[in-house]
Amino acid sequence: MTNPDIYNLKPNGIVLYGADWCPDCKRSKAFLAAHNIQYLDVNIGKDNLAYAFIEKLTRRVVIPTLIFPDGAILVEPSDEALSLRLGIR
């Protein structure tokens, strides 16, 4: 069964769409891990529906894309943008 948060604009938790080869995705994942932030990791290289979902959402495929429970979306965020969004100082 597929996790319903994968294709949801208001997921229950943070969802990060990325790919294994993406350096910005690795950086964002490392930032989240360093701050013990839980997230759902969706590899768009292995999930064609997730790829299409992100392509439609960003009008082209831009990763990492993070979707938050309140519906906020960050596309290719810097560590500073993640810090601000998550209230980390």
pTM of the model: 0.94
Task: Say what percent of the chain tops pLDDT 90.
Answer: 93
Arithmetic mean of pLDDT, 31-43: 97
pLDDT at 51 over 80: yes
In this structure, are residues 2 and 39 in contact, taking their beta carbons and an 8 Å threshold? no
